[in-house]
Structure 1
Amino acid sequence: MAERVGGIIYLAINGVNYQAKGAYTYNIGRPKRDGVVGHDAVHGYKELPQVPFIEGEITDSGKMALEDLLDLTDATVTLQLANSKVIVLRDAWYAGEGTGNTEEGNIGVRFEGISGEEVR
């Protein structure tokens, strides 16, 4: 049986849906491991924190205020994927540039947060 793994997504900020478009990327903020190498061998690894994020584009509808997006802090951002997983950012802020594009009415968005999780 074929399973849907990509396609339709939904983006919400504090429970308000936004018109997501294009490809999104995300990171739930788990520590990143890098190898530690000495002159004799691999000694092990170190872990460094990562900032959890959700990044993509939204359509700039006439109802949306860009200033509200730019001022966004302490938010909950959810990205529902086509495979039914939900990525949740908590205590999130808008970390994008706020640059719009007139050809298709899109704005690049990047949200970063204190914590992120994948809900299945």
Structure 2
Amino acid sequence: MADETNRLAGIAYISVDGQNYMLAGELSYSPADVERESLVGQDRVHGFGETPRAPFISGSFRDAGTLTVKDFNSMTNVTVTLELANSKTVIGRNMWTVEAQEVKTPEATFEGFSGSVTEQ
């Protein structure tokens, strides 16, 4: 068995309300709930502005024969759990799907979620 203590990236798993889904790739997440922008005047930096931001989990999911994309689109108030290669668990609570899922048939893939995200 290989030593996995130094593994930082690679293998990842995703489940929604306990149901595992095929993760094709491009998994990303952000727990940030604010976005800041520098406010620069002609004379100096004046400070910053802050606006709310929706944390998100995004990925490219595989459209398996057992999956109905329309059901995926109707997901609201779900819990999304990520298990990452570095042993970190990321949990999205009260998540909902964003945008209308569009399946790309060459690879049978579609995209992701928005809501509250925490790292453990």
Which residue, 21, 37, 62 being the options, matches 1:18? 21
1:65 counterpart = 2:50: no
Q: Supply the RMSD in Å over aligned alpha carbons.
A: 1.7
Structure 1 unmatched runs, 5+: none
- SS for the counterpart of 1:100 is coil
Partner amino acid for 1:101?
Answer: K
Task: Report deviation, 1:92.
Answer: 0.8
Aligned residues: 117
2:119 aligned partner, one-letter code: E
Unaligned runs of 5+ in 2: none
CA contact (8 A) 1:28 1:87 kept: no
Q: Which residue of 2 aligns with 1:35?
A: 38
- The one-character-per-residue Cα deviations of 1:52-84 (angstroms, maximum 9, x if unpaired) are 111111111111111210111111112221111
Q: TM-score, normalised by structure 2?
A: 0.86
1:29·1:49 contact (CA, 8 Å) conserved in 2? no
**Shift >4 Å, 4+ stretches:** none
Give SS of 2:107's match: coil
Give 1:63's aligned amino acid: T
Alpha-carbon distance in structure 1 between the residues aligned to 2:61 and 2:33:
26
- Distance in 2, matches of 1:46 and 1:89, equals 26
Match of 2:87 in 1: 84
- TM-score, length of structure 1 as denominator length: 0.86
